[in-house]
Amino acid sequence: MENLDTNNTMPRIGDFAPDFEAVTTTGNLKFSEFNKGSWVVFFSHPADFTPVCTTEMSGFALEKDFFSAHNAKLIGLSIDSIHAHIAWVNAVNEKTGVLFEFPIIADIDMSVSKLYGMLQPGESETAAVRAVFIIDPVGKVRLVMYYPLNVGRNMDEIKRTLLALQVSDEHKVAMPLNWQPGDKVIVPAPKTIEALAERKNSNLEMVDWYLAKKEL
Ligand code: BEZ
């Protein structure tokens, strides 16, 4: 069968993020240590010195204050050498003034890419697709995005989903279509007849008993 790579695993939502050690632009690291106590936004890009990747990595770099304000660390990856990474970081910094301060993994043996399903052979046998994993402070994968090589990601959506997960965890609520910070949130549906009666007498904004919203 074509394009079947049995060494390529794909972490799913709810799985613990596979651990690994890697060479990065900020030094060697063990992922579980890096993750401890913080949210992590782990993303891959196809290659250094390519245009779409340069816009995306610059986008992440420019949002560093947002991510650190929300207890989230950034870490990138591509199947390039550490020398290529360093040269690219330096070139972008010299041309645009933007500095990629977050670690970028040099995954030259593709081991991390394969562990995270970033190598999707139908798209490319040698370059990682544009993946995003949002991993919570206990190391669980909470959100997965995969984009093809030729379409850049949406930074607003990455920021929105990180906040949505954090607000959902804190308030035990769910987020409706197109939720933005400050919008009403969905209150979980009642699970007993008694809870249903309580809901009917509540001040929640109710479309039906199972679909109710509130302000936070
Ligand atoms: C880019 O970043 O521009 C790119 C990289 C690989 C394939 C296509 C586009």
Same domain, residue pair 78 and 29: yes
User: How far, in Å, is the centroid of ligand 1 from the Cα of 193?
Assistant: 55
Asked whether residue 3 is domain-assigned, the answer is no
Q: What is the mean pLDDT of residues 180-196?
A: 97
Same domain, residue pair 83 and 29: yes
Same domain, residue pair 124 and 44: yes
pLDDT at 7 over 90: no
Same domain, residue pair 180 and 123: no
Strands 104-106 vs 72-78: parallel, antiparallel or unpaired? parallel
Is the C-beta atom of 165 inside 6 A of ligand 1? no
Helix, strand, coil in percent for the chain, rounding step 5: 30, 20, 45
Q: Write out the DSSP string of 128-173.
A: --EEEEEE-TTSBEEEEEEE-TTS---HHHHHHHHHHHHHHHHHT-
Same domain, residue pair 50 and 131: yes
Same domain, residue pair 136 and 50: yes
Q: What is the mean pLDDT of residues 80-92?
A: 98
pLDDT at 197 over 90: yes
Same domain, residue pair 189 and 108: no
The tens digit of pLDDT for each residue in 162-171 reads 999 999 999 9
Q: What average pLDDT does the chain have?
A: 96
Same domain, residue pair 58 and 86: yes
Asked whether residue 6 is domain-assigned, the answer is no
Residue 1: per-residue pLDDT: 45
Is the C-beta atom of 149 inside 6 A of ligand 1? yes
Residue 8: per-residue pLDDT: 80
pLDDT at 43 over 60: yes
Same domain, residue pair 149 and 192: no
Asked whether residue 194 is domain-assigned, the answer is yes
Identify the CATH number of the domain in which residue 118 sits.
3.40.30.10
Same domain, residue pair 131 and 33: yes
- Terminal Cα-to-Cα distance of the chain (whole angstroms): 52
Asked whether residue 167 is domain-assigned, the answer is no
Identify the CATH number of the domain in which residue 186 sits.
3.30.1020.10
Same domain, residue pair 121 and 176: no
Last residue of a domain, one of 118, 153, 188: 153
Same domain, residue pair 141 and 196: no
> What's the total number of domains in the chain?
2
Q: Which domain holds residue 70?
A: 21-153
Asked whether residue 204 is domain-assigned, the answer is yes
- Whose CA is closest to atom 9 on ligand 1? 150
Asked whether residue 205 is domain-assigned, the answer is yes
User: How far, in Å, is the centroid of ligand 1 from the Cα of 99?
Assistant: 20
pLDDT at 63 over 60: yes
